[in-house]
Chains A and B, each alone.
Chain A
């Protein structure tokens, strides 16, 4: 089955700096890669996703890049703000699967 590894587990950045979280997946047939943000005590929320036929996707200050050859995808947050502080989860889905495999999460702290 699919295996997703996420790094780093914790990340601290200064407000205004960029943050990058990276995930690697094992199954080359994976074709869908969403990212979720979970604030303390809240539900996870889908913030961006990318499919395997696209190399990059942007939505305001967040972007996701996909490298199918290396089997990794990354979340980029620019101009970080304190409200970006949360746990971020990546996930991957293989073509034939009907479920997502989640990474272990990254606690992002944006220092004012």
Chain B
């Protein structure tokens, strides 16, 4: 069974568009994250939710807006996409804040 799933796996879009990435976990974990991995492979946290409450909001442009409708889902909406947003976005979940147990498969976003 898939522990953390993301859709879509690939996303190719033009500058200025708005897009969303969805994430779901079936582990019953309380904490979910969004990470961005750039071309140099560096992993940077963007957001973290614990029990649907936003607990970490790193220095991310406000074009990025997370939404957690329930404990099992954490979606990421991006407005006015820019070339620099091209990266792999990973959702992740864990039983508690400050640990990171499972990553999702990633969404490769390419902005042209």
Indicate which residue in A45, A49, A91, A98 contacts B103 across the interface (CB closer than 8 Å).
A45
**In the complex, which residues of chain B have a beta carbon less than 8 angstroms from the beta carbon of A89?**
43
Residues of A within 8 Å of B, CB-based: how many? 20
Query: Measured between alpha carbons, how far is A99 from B54 in the docked complex, in Å?
Result: 13
Interface of A is mostly: strand
**In the complex, which residues of chain A have a beta carbon less than 8 angstroms from the beta carbon of B104?**
43
Quick check: which of B15-23, B61-69, B72-80, B94-102 contacts chain A, the rest being far away? B94-102
Once the chains bind, are B48 and A99 in contact (CB under 8 Å)? yes
Once the chains bind, are B41 and A105 in contact (CB under 8 Å)? yes
Once the chains bind, are B100 and A34 in contact (CB under 8 Å)? yes
Total number of residue pairs linking A and B with CB closer than 8 Å: 49
Write the residues of chain A forming the contact surface with B, with a CB cutoff of 8 angstroms.
32, 34, 38, 42-46, 49, 87, 89, 91, 93, 97-100, 102, 104-105
30 intermolecular pairs with C-beta atoms under 8 Å apart: A32-B98, A34-B99, A34-B100, A42-B105, A43-B90, A43-B103, A43-B106, A44-B43, A46-B101, A46-B102, A49-B99, A87-B41, A89-B43, A91-B100, A93-B99, A97-B98, A98-B50, A98-B55, A98-B56, A99-B45, A99-B48, A99-B56, A99-B98, A100-B99, A102-B42, A102-B43, A102-B44, A104-B40, A105-B42, A105-B43
